[in-house]
Amino acid sequence: MSIVSIVQLPTKVLREKAREVSAKEITSPRIQELISRMKKTLAASENGVGLAAPQIGESLQIFLVSEEAEEIDKGRPPTVTEASPPQDPETKLQKRTWRYDVFINPKIKKISRKKNEFPEGCLSVVGKFGIVPRPEKITVEAYDENGKKFVRSATKFVARVIQHELDHLQGVLFIDKATQMLASEHNTS
């Protein structure tokens, strides 16, 4: 079980609607190995806090959200998601082992009308960032990696990350929703 390359736009799987995972499949060795590879891949990413199965080439309704997203909510404002470098290296959270929440076959149960606009980036669209309006609160029902159904409500940055990953499962990228694209000061090309 090794780290997998994160696929980049224009790879076709990023634009496909992912298929649901059957109840039997959730605990199968194949899906458990996939989840393990996703965790390792996300852990190895420099700034990722979420990862969807399509981002590693698997068109399945599975995504992860790192506990780091909760820490960002507590420790610094939700200004940039996923692949964006921190504004100031001094504010970067220490690299540590994070817990990953696994969402399988997620369904939106409730979403707030009030929206916030913040910059987003994506591990599959490296070097691009844009302002994306998203509801500030969300409630999702999903299955965990053991096949147990759960309901999770989130606000702020965590809600944004969940919505970003939900979009991946529908073949939608943040660039499709961005109201304004931002110039990347951190582009090394």
Which has the closest alpha carbon to 4: 37, 45, 52, 31?
Answer: 37
Tell me phi and psi for residue 89, to 5 degrees: -55, -25
Q: At 34, which helix (H) or strand (E)?
A: helix 29-44
Q: Which two tokens stand for residue 185?
A: 């000061």
Helix (H) or strand (E) holding 92: none
Largest CA distance in the chain: 46
**53-56, long-range: CB within 8 Å, 24+ apart, which pairs?**
53/18, 53/169, 54/7, 54/13, 54/14, 54/16, 54/18, 54/168, 54/169, 54/171, 55/6, 55/7, 55/14, 55/123, 55/124, 55/168, 56/4, 56/5, 56/6, 56/7
| 82 catalytically annotated | no
> Residue 49 corresponds to which tokens in the numbers above?
């806090």
Catalytic one among 67, 117, 165, 185?
165
Q: Which residues are catalytic?
A: 165
